[in-house]
A = this chain, B = another copy of it.
Amino acid sequence: MIRVGIAGYGNIGRGVEAAVTHAQDMELVAVFSRRDPATVQTVTGVPVVAYDKIGECAGDIDVVIICGGSATDLPWMTPELAAKFNVIDSFDNHHHIPEHFAKVNEAASASGKVGIISCGWDPGYFSLARILADSALPEGDSYTFWGRGVSQGHSDAIRRIEGVKDARQYTVPVEAALESVRNNEHPEFTARQMHLRECWVVAEDGADKAAIEEAIKTMPDYFEPYDTTVTFITQEELDRDHSGLPHGGSVIRSGRTGFDREFNNTVEFTLNLDSNPFFTSSILVAAARAAYRMNQEGQSGAKTLFDVPPAYLSHHTREELLAHML
């Protein structure tokens, strides 16, 4: 049994708790939280331990899955914990990945542990789709479409507008853009041409709805570069119809083969997820299995899913894989 610890207990932490509980080759040892453990109740009853005490558990845990945020938690937590544990994170700040990788690599190389970073679905499985498609079709263009799904960052941005009580934002791929890519037209897109932004907003009583809509649609970076729809609904409607966190998307590569590049090909990888955090958590757990195995065979340092032989992610034996999955 692979002994797993969870550091951080939000949506992702709970998702990891569920996935580890269902995994037959793993056991969940503890959740580590920076909150007062007495105030944190886990779903399965697994013990909650103060984050400060995690170092004392080094002998009892094979892998720590770090379930913090990429903005303020993971940049220090992953290197700190890699000094004592095999670690997994879902660091998703694409621009800072090389820097994060370097810090984790330094810590994990020194400790002789493995740290696999950026193990969500993007970065993560979408990254695998990109590298596999690019390797088979070196001459071509890759596209990533997100949605239809809830962007928590964009929902938060709407909530910060004066007069907004609650909000939910869906990122939606433009159907015509998907079709153009699939038709091997190799388009060059603006942001507006690839995605729509659909906003469901609950206004405070007496708030100026026209002003809220204007504030959303003109918000730089978040909404201004996109065609954005704003619909005002009641809190009850929001809670009833928009309480989930679905997401998904597609990585599509269109590339040519042949002596004269005469053959068109598309490789497409698509996800449709009822729950974004629970699927992310499932990938984190598969990556934890891989980190444990890689470390067992003597590997150390920072890794990404690009470095992981896919068999290491699977709970199936080599014989099962050869006979049934190849």
Tell me the dominant secondary structure on chain A's binding face.
helix
**Within the complex, which residue of B23, B258, B314 is in contact with A275, where a contact is CB–CB below 8 Å?**
B258
Categorize the interface residue count of chain A.
35 or more
A136-167 to B contact mask, C-beta < 8 Å, 1/0 = 11110000000000000000000000000000
Q: Tell me the smallest distance from the CB of A96 to a CB of chain B, in Å.
A: 11
Q: Which residues of B contact A132 (CB under 8 A)?
A: 125, 128, 310, 313
Q: Tell me the smallest distance from the CB of A13 to a CB of chain B, in Å.
A: 13
User: A131, B325: Cβ atoms under 8 Å?
Assistant: yes
A86-112 to B contact mask, C-beta < 8 Å, 1/0 = 000000001001100100000000000
> Smallest CB-CB separation from A182: which chain B residue?
B272
User: A282, B309: Cβ atoms under 8 Å?
Assistant: no
A222-258 to B contact mask, C-beta < 8 Å, 1/0 = 0000000000000000000000000000000000011
CA distance A19 to B138 in the complex (A): 9
Contact (A18, B304) CB under 8 Å given A98-B323, A132-B310: no
* A267 close to B (CB within 8 Å): yes
User: B272, A270: Cβ atoms under 8 Å?
Assistant: no
User: A314, B97: Cβ atoms under 8 Å?
Assistant: no
> Smallest CB-CB separation from A290: which chain B residue?
B135
User: B18, A258: Cβ atoms under 8 Å?
Assistant: yes
* A176 close to B (CB within 8 Å): no
User: A265, B286: Cβ atoms under 8 Å?
Assistant: no
* A130 close to B (CB within 8 Å): yes
* A22 close to B (CB within 8 Å): yes
CA distance A206 to B250 in the complex (A): 52
10 extra A-B contacts, CB within 8 A, seeds A18-B259, A136-B283, A263-B275: A44-B259, A135-B313, A136-B279, A137-B279, A137-B282, A263-B278, A263-B279, A304-B326, A306-B326, A307-B311
A sample of 7 cross-chain residue pairs with beta-carbon separation below 8 angstroms, ordered by A number, consists of A23-B138, A131-B311, A136-B283, A257-B278, A268-B270, A269-B270, A306-B326
